[in-house]
Amino acid sequence: MYRIVKKQVLNPTVTRMEIEAPLIARKAEPGQFIILRVDEKGERIPLTVADFDREAGTVTIIFQIVGATTEKLNHLEEGDCLQDFVGPLGRPSETEGLKKVAVIGGGVGCAIAYPVAKKLHQQGAEVHSIVGFRNKDLVILEEEFAAVSDKLVMMTDDGSYGEKGLVTNALEKLIEEGETYDEVIAIGPLVMMKFVTQVTKKHNIKTVVSMNPIMIDGTGMCGGCRLTVGGKTKFACVDGPDFDGFEVDFDEAMARGTMYRDFERHAYEETCNLFRKEVQ
């Protein structure tokens, strides 16, 4: 069993948890993920490693409450235990040799972007972080990004915090001001990553995207995370999750990502109703 050491609400729909998992903490690297089950009857879901503390033996996960399992997970408190917590899985993000990088995070994808920015900073790279949210109430990890970034640009769609606009607007502005990057790393909603790559392709800047949003099983057996990269079929969980953004077929990936939306919504509503009955 894996004990929840710390729980923190980051915004109304996003929660951070530190899980006691010393064996995983010992080997985890940015870009990798874990598979967890809340209880013995629960489904297996993949969540990216948002941080880790090798000395304390803890792994941090950050999740958005969007479905039945994340709803159940959010009802657990400090001291409670998870049934399963397996990892680290996936290929670590490749950061060696990079001198100047723009790390772009969108929404809850910032939880994946942060450990990558942190490792680049620890390796001595110059890190420019651009993070975007719909509004001020959804902002997460600002202090964490500030601590590992040489330049931090906060964006909100409605202008309620930071600068008004999209992360692509901020990236275009930095490039126009003369900033040059060895690489751009974009992590967030599929549509965001698609448009980031359209910007970087114009300027011929190597771009890496994380295809975590389409993972399900985490082992390559279910086929749910298959995608087309450079005209070839790849699996996000075993071949990635990081890929060359110029070669990813985002339209195909986005279409597949909507296939189970109605089913998941139904399961989420059933779970919420169950918790309401327990409270009554």
Instruction: Examine the pLDDT at 268 and tell me if it is beyond 50.
Output: no
CA–CA dist 280, 272 (Å, integer)? 13
Q: Tokens 């949003």 correspond to what residue?
A: 213
Q: Span 232-252, mean pLDDT?
A: 83
Predicted confidence band of residue 8 (pLDDT cuts 50, 70, 90): very high
Which pLDDT score, from 0 to 100, does residue 226 have? 77
Q: Which CATH number fits domain 100-210: 3.40.50.720, 3.90.180.10, 3.40.50.80, 3.40.1710.10?
A: 3.40.50.80
Instruction: Examine the pLDDT at 17 and tell me if it is beyond 90.
Output: yes
Beta pairing, strands 33-37 & 84-89: antiparallel
Domain range summary for the chain, segments of one domain joined by +: 2-89, 100-210
With pLDDT > 90 as the criterion, what percentage of the chain qualifies? 65
Which pLDDT score, from 0 to 100, does residue 234 have? 84
Q: Span 92-108, mean pLDDT?
A: 94
173-192, pLDDT tens digit by residue?
999 999 999 999 999 999 99
Which pLDDT score, from 0 to 100, does residue 72 have? 92
CA–CA dist 210, 275 (Å, integer)? 33
149-174, pLDDT tens digit by residue?
999 999 999 999 999 999 999 999 99
Predicted confidence band of residue 263 (pLDDT cuts 50, 70, 90): very low
CA–CA dist 189, 107 (Å, integer)? 8
Predicted confidence band of residue 269 (pLDDT cuts 50, 70, 90): low
Q: What is the dihedral of CA 232, 236, 240, 242, to 10 degrees?
A: 90
Q: Span 273-280, mean pLDDT?
A: 51
Which pLDDT score, from 0 to 100, does residue 146 have? 97
Q: Which CATH number fits domain 2-89: 2.40.30.10, 3.40.430.10, 2.40.50.140, 1.10.1060.10?
A: 2.40.30.10
Q: Are residues 185 and 93 in contact, defined by beta-carbon separation less than 8 angstroms? A: yes
Instruction: Examine the pLDDT at 267 and tell me if it is beyond 50.
Output: no
CA–CA dist 233, 280 (Å, integer)? 49
Q: What rounded mean pLDDT belongs to the chain?
A: 87
Tokens of 212: 């975590």
